[in-house]
């Protein structure tokens, strides 16, 4: 992937209305097989969409011409348009996509590990990618530190609009269909506030005839809607769970995340304890570290106690500042001390690399710049 700074503007988003065809990516293979007979055609169509990244039904040459024409009348294959692409010096690439109604959402391709070769020139390993995708336009949860929250809530994404973000990114970066990619639902929106569509997208991503991304390669991050965590657990999807905790006492958490009034820390911990976790996995607790707010060792101590008895890992995140926020990024030293306190006492704890910091990779930030006309 090219690492120099590129900026491409394909067009400004405009709100417009027209009759929308159904998004074919909204359908699971089974739903498609119900609609398109004979049923083996659904498998072929899935392969065209998710292996060959087709953008026009006319490309689907192994389908009868009449079927291609009927599909084009009923469905759209291209529900998203790329508005901007920004490259970071660390190899991550951020996309702003426009939906059919003019709203925009972000997704980020993160290069977790570069391609490497042995000394004899043979391939040691391929690049490793994680894609961060959005589940809603805006968010209702209203966290004080989050830029997505500032724009309010517009609407839920459909399963197809969620799936399409990854398909667009894979196509744009020539990532072959059979290459493993990890997915994190850590873009704009609260995934559990759009549970049905998110769960459907997890299943579509996992389809063997489609992108074949196993659920254990997909992580849903939530601000802690306890009742929905329980519901998600009962769905037995096999996905990984990440909890955006950010504070260890209810008073502070309530100030940072108003949702804590409805679902306090104790209710989240109970829901996590009931959640089915893959034997080889842990529940991730994300802890956004804000200078002089939640970065002291007393908080680390409480965190340790809170997670006692849970198969947990902690991911410390540097607060990523943006114009107009009163919050500040913590020092590297404070982050390291916080981490060390936990790891020395046996809790897995990593510091999230500030991937794409130069392109404002904390989700919501590119969109906000675009709406303000800064991009």
The residues annotated with a catalytic role in the active site are 106, 363
Binding partner of 142, given ligand SAH, ligand SF4, none, CB within 5-8 angstroms per partner class:
ligand SF4
Q: Is 219 in the site for ligand SAH (CB under 6 A)?
A: no
Q: Which distant-in-sequence residues (6+ apart) come within 8 Å of 199 by Cβ? A: 232, 235, 237
Q: Would you tell me which residues interact with ligand SF4 (CB under 6 A)?
A: 139, 141-143, 146, 148-149, 189-190, 223, 244
Q: Please tell me the distance from the alpha carbon of residue 255 to that of residue 259, in angstroms, as a whole number.
A: 9
The binding track of 159-198 with respect to ligand SAH, each residue x by CB under 6 A or -, is: ---------------------------x---x--------
Quote the tokens at residue 43: 């498998």
- CB-based contacts of 251, cutoff 8 Å, min separation 6: none
To ligand SAH, the closest distance from the beta carbon of 69 in angstroms equals: 40
Give yes or no for residue 317 binding ligand SAH (CB under 6 A).
yes
Phi, psi (degrees; rounded to nearest 5) at 327: -80, 155
Question: Residue 122: CB partners within 8 Å, gap ≥ 6?
Answer: none
Least separation, in Å, of the C-beta of 296 and ligand SAH? 19
Per-position x/- string for 274-293, each x denoting binding to ligand SAH as judged by CB under 6 A, each - no binding:
------------x-x-----
CB 330 within 8 A of CB 289: yes
How many residues line the site for ligand SAH (CB under 6 A)? 15
**Residue linked to tokens 């060792």:** 297
Residue 256 contact, options ligand SAH, ligand SF4, none, Cβ 5-8 Å cut-off depending on partner type: none
Q: Rounded to an integer, what distance in angstroms lies between the CA atom of residue 183 and that of residue 240?
A: 10
Taking the complex as a whole, the smallest distance from the CB of residue 291 to ligand SF4 amounts, in Å, to: 18
| Selected binder of ligand SAH within 307, 349, 362, 366 (CB under 6 A) | 362
Q: How far is CA 69 from the centre of its chain?
A: 34
Tell me 119's DSSP state. Answer: T
**Residue ranges that bind ligand SAH, judged by CB under 6 A:** 145-146, 186, 190, 221-223, 244, 286, 288, 317, 319-320, 362-363
């Amino acid at each position: 992937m090219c690492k120099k700074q590129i900026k491409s503007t394909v067009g400004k988003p405009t709100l417009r209305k027209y009759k929308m065809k159904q998004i074919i990516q909204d359908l699971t293979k089974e739903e498609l097989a119900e609609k398109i007979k004979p049923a083996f055609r659904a498998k072929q169509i899935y392969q065209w969409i998710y292996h060959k990244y087709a953008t026009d039904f006319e490309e689907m040459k192994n389908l009868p011409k009449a079927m291609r024409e009927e599909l084009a009348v009923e469905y759209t294959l291209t529900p998203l348009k790329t508005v901007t692409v920004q490259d970071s010096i660390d190899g991550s690439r951020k996309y702003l996509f426009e939906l059919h109604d003019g709203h925009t959402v972000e997704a980020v391709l993160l290069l977790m590990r570069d391609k490497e070769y042995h000394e004899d020139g043979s391939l040691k390993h391929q690049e490793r990618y994680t894609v961060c995708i959005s589940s809603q336009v805006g968010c209702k949860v209203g966290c004080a530190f989050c830029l997505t929250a500032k724009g309010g809530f517009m609407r839920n994404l459909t399963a197809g609009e969620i799936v399409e973000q990854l398909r667009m990114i894979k196509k744009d970066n020539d990532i072959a269909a059979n290459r493993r990619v990890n997915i994190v639902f850590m873009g704009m929106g609260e995934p559990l506030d759009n549970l049905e569509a998110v769960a459907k997208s997890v299943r579509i991503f996992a389809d063997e005839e489609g992108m074949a991304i196993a659920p254990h390669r997909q992580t849903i991050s939530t601000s802690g809607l306890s009742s929905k965590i329980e519901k998600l657990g009962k769905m037995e999807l096999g996905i990984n769970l990440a909890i955006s905790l950010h504070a260890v006492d209810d008073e502070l958490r309530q100030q940072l995340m108003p949702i804590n009034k409805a679902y306090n820390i104790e209710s989240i911990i109970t829901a996590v304890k009931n959640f089915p976790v893959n034997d080889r996995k842990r529940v991730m607790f994300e802890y956004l570290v804000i200078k002089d707010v939640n970065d002291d060792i007393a908080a680390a101590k409480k965190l340790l106690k809170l997670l006692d008895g849970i198969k947990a890992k902690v991911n410390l995140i540097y607060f990523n500042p943006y114009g107009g926020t009163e919050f500040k990024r913590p020092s590297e030293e404070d982050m390291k001390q916080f981490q060390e306190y936990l790891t020395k006492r046996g809790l897995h704890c990593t510091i999230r690399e500030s991937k794409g910091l130069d392109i404002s990779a904390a989700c919501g930030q590119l969109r906000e710049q675009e709406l303000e006309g800064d991009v």
